[in-house]
Amino acid sequence: MSEAPYTVSNNEKEMQFEIKQDGFLAYLSYRYYKNDIAFMHTFVPKPLEGKGMAGALAVAAFAFAKSSGKLVMVYCPYVAAFLKRHPDYQSQVDKQYH
């Protein structure tokens, strides 16, 4: 996958994956629900839009879910759109909640 090379960190206290750049914070928030991880909301500040950050956050979030052995619940509209463009991640989605 050719996502931009950003450093994504998992801020477990705030329950979000983060990219910090140029004094801004882009994030994908998550919550644990039952045995799954729910991707709630993706935010990229206007000055950083269009640079692949949201995609990089989604890739990191799915990698974390996979390594944690958790299926994904999709509440975030961006993640839903990401899944349409990257169907190889569909196997990680909890079909009961999609």
Coil, strand or helix at 97: helix
Q: Which of 64, 56, 69 is nearest to 19 (CA)?
A: 56
Give me the domains of the chain, ranges plus CATH numbers.
9-97 (3.40.630.30)
The model's pTM: 0.93
pLDDT tens digits, one per residue of 50-72: 999 999 999 999 999 999 999 99
Residue type, 65: A
Q: Could you count the other beta carbons within 10 Å of the beta carbon of residue 24?
A: 13
Sheet containing 36-43: order of strands? 9-11, 16-21, 24-33, 36-43, 72-74
What pLDDT was estimated at residue 29? Answer: 98
pLDDT (tens digit, 9 = 90+) per residue, 30-50? 999 999 999 999 999 999 999
Cβ pair 56, 83 in contact under 8 A: no
C-alpha dihedral over 17, 26, 7, 9, to 10 degrees? -20
